[in-house]
């Protein structure tokens, strides 16, 4: 692989001429070396879909030149790589109740995308990171996970986008879950010089500055801060990162002077949701106001008719979405009951209510979780697998309710002012 040039003043810039060791020539690999505060950081750039990168990482660790190995992973991603059974211990009802369903679905989309890559390329994406962690543990070296939690990255990325941007990204992730097509050559090239998360969002990361900032730039600075928190006693650190991170990571590692803990905290911060649910208040005011206006102008018959139509339209479409998802009859009933109230309070969201009921009545088994990544690659698998069916229940019920709210609202306005 060609060495990556990192242009910087000779006196302060990263040293690109690391020492070669027997059986391994660092100079043949994309890399940068930064010395700071008595620690020598060797940043080894890898391609996340390359067997050669796996071999290079293992050879570098085998030289014995490093006392600490840092990898571009967080606890969650390492666990997913090394302990597939961890998924089977997930409490799906808890995920639903805590409002983490979209994040869970995003993680599934990422896993499905990586599986397609593995099948197409013959190597597991990020295999070199897994190998680095395994070899570090086997040799008794200190292991440091330096990447930001993927959930935080996803949340910060989504918060930077407007409603339309979030909808596009969500649609992209959903298509990634459903697609069985081969990964395109452009995406593979991005992976060779980039990052799994960046590639997973396909063209959006490159065309949307806000998204690129959260997925690439912020993580460069975050990983540099984590490296500066290397445990006391470390003197030679090998950091295994995607080649696309080399330039930014080396620059931050060399130049950032803010305390690393402060940098981390600022990049882990997620903007809290507004304590005042303005959207629910506005929609609730319009709906309740419409009922009141109907009773006042047309009497009991008109007001009651408006309420009945609202319940039938929102409840009917919410229940229809649940039924299409293959929901249990009681899940369908709960969707019908909750849908008319969904616009009035987020705790009554029909998708969450029906999905919780579905998960409780048809509790996913350990086998469902273990087969999840395989099943979501086929349309039939989504309805066969109980975990996937709960997610379908959540999304299709929510979609049906949303359509019902707009349809019911327009019908109400037509009745009142027609």
Instruction: Retrieve residue 96's tokens.
Output: 């639903």
Whole-number Å distance between alpha carbons of 181 and 190: 17
- Measured in whole angstroms, the distance separating CA 67 from the mean position of its chain's CA atoms is 32
Q: Is the pLDDT assigned to residue 346 strictly greater than 70? A: no
* Segment 356-372 mean pLDDT: 86
Asked if residue 136 lies in contact with residue 398, where contact means CB atoms within 8 angstroms, the answer is no
Q: What is the pLDDT of residue 160?
A: 76
Q: What is the pLDDT of residues 171-221, one digit of tens each?
A: 666 655 555 555 555 555 555 555 555 555 544 445 566 677 777 789 999
Percent of the chain with pLDDT over 90: 33
Q: What is the pLDDT of residues 51-70, one digit of tens each?
A: 788 889 999 999 999 999 99
Asked if residue 120 lies in contact with residue 182, where contact means CB atoms within 8 angstroms, the answer is yes
Mean pLDDT, the chain, rounded, equals 79
Q: Is the pLDDT assigned to residue 394 strictly greater than 50? A: yes
Q: Between 350-361 and 278-324, two packed helices, what is the crossing angle to 10 degrees?
A: 40
Q: What is the pLDDT of residue 401?
A: 92
Band the pLDDT of 152: cuts 50, 70, 90.
confident
Q: Output the 3-class SS for the chain.
A: CCCCCCCCCCCCCCECCCCCECCECHHHCCEEEEEECCEEEEEEEECCCCHHHHHHHHHHHHCCCCCEEEECCCHHHHHHHHCHHHHHHCCHHHHHHCCCHHHHHHHHHHHHHHHHHHHHHCCCCCHHHHHHHHHHHHCCCEEEECCCCHHHHHHHHHHCCCHHHHHHHHHHHHHHHHCCCCCCHHHHHHHHHCCHHHHHCCHHHHHCHHHHHHHHHHHHHHHHHHHHCCCCCCCEEEEEEEHHHHHHHHHHHHHCCCCHHHHHHHHHCCCCCCCCCHHHHHHHHHHHHHHHHHHHHHHHHHHHHHHHHHHHHHHHHHHHHHHHCCCCHHHHHHHHHHHHHHHHCHHHCHHHHHHHHHHHHCCCCHHHHHCHHHHCCCHHHHHHCHHHHHHHHHHHHHHHHHHHHHHHHHHHHHHHHC
Q: What is the pLDDT of residue 19?
A: 38
* Segment 274-278 mean pLDDT: 62
Whole-number Å distance between alpha carbons of 189 and 354: 42
Q: What is the pLDDT of residue 9?
A: 34
Q: What is the pLDDT of residue 227?
A: 95
Considering only CA atoms, which of 215, 58, 34, 207 is closest in space to residue 139? 58
Q: Where are the domains of the chain?
A: 26-268, 278-417
Q: What is the pLDDT of residue 291?
A: 77
Top pLDDT among 66 and 410 is at 66
Top pLDDT among 326 and 306 is at 326
Band the pLDDT of 347: cuts 50, 70, 90.
low
Instruction: Retrieve residue 156's tokens.
Output: 């910060």
For tokens 């050669």, what's the residue?
Answer: 52
Hey, which of 19-28, 109-118, 268-277, 371-380 has the most confident mean pLDDT? 371-380
Q: Is the pLDDT assigned to residue 387 strictly greater than 80? A: yes
Q: Is the pLDDT assigned to residue 2 strictly greater than 80? A: no
Q: What is the pLDDT of residue 199?
A: 53
Instruction: Retrieve residue 339's tokens.
Output: 């849908």
Q: What is the pLDDT of residues 94-123, one digit of tens each?
A: 878 777 777 777 777 666 666 666 666 666
Top pLDDT among 210 and 418 is at 210
Q: What is the pLDDT of residues 229-267, one digit of tens each?
A: 988 888 999 999 988 888 889 999 999 999 999 999 999
Top pLDDT among 17 and 299 is at 299
Hey, which of 96-100, 270-274, 331-335, 343-347 has the most confident mean pLDDT? 331-335
Asked if residue 357 lies in contact with residue 329, where contact means CB atoms within 8 angstroms, the answer is no
């Amino acid at each position: 692989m060609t060495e990556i040039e990192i242009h910087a003043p000779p006196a302060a810039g990263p040293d690109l001429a690391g020492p070669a060791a027997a059986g391994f020539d660092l100079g043949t690999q994309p890399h940068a070396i930064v010395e700071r505060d008595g620690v020598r950081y060797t940043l080894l750039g890898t391609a996340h879909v390359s067997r050669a990168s796996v071999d290079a990482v293992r050879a570098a660790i085998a030289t014995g030149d490093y006392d600490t190995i840092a990898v571009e992973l967080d606890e969650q991603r390492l666990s997913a790589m090394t302990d597939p059974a961890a998924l089977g211990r997930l409490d799906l009802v808890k995920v639903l109740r805590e409002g983490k369903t979209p994040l869970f679905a995003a993680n599934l989309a990422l896993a499905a995308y990586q599986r397609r890559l593995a099948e197409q390329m013959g190597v597991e994406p990020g295999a070199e990171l897994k190998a680095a962690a395994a070899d570090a543990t086997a040799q008794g070296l200190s292991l440091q996970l330096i990447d930001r939690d993927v959930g935080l990255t996803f949340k910060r990325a989504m918060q930077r986008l407007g409603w339309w941007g979030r909808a596009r990204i969500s649609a992209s992730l959903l298509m990634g879950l459903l697609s069985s097509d081969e990964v395109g050559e452009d995406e593979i090239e991005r992976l060779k010089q980039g990052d799994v998360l960046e590639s997973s969002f396909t063209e959006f990361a490159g065309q949307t500055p806000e998204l690129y900032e959260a997925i690439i730039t912020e993580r460069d600075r975050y990983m540099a801060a984590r490296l500066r928190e290397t445990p006391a006693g470390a003197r030679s650190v090998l950091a295994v990162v995607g080649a696309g991170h080399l330039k930014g990571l080396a620059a931050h590692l060399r130049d950032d002077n803010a305390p690393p803990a402060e940098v981390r905290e600022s990049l882990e911060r997620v903007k809290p949701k507004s304590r005042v649910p303005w959207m629910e208040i506005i929609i609730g005011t319009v709906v309740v106001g419409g009922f009141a206006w109907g009773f006042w102008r047309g009497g009991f018959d008109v007001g009651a008719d408006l309420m009945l139509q609202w319940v039938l339209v929102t409840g009917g479409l919410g229940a229809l979405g649940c039924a299409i998802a293959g929901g249990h009859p009681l899940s369908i009933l709960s969707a019908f009951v909750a849908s008319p109230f969904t616009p009035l309070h987020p705790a009554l969201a029909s998708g969450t209510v029906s999905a919780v009921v579905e998960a409780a009545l048809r509790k996913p088994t350990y086998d469902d979780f273990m087969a999840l990544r395989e099943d979501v690659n086929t349309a039939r698998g989504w309805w066969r697998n109980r975990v996937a069916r709960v997610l379908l229940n959540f999304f299709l019920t929510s979609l049906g309710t949303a359509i019902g709210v707009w349809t019911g609202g327009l019908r109400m306005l037509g009745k009142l002012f027609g």
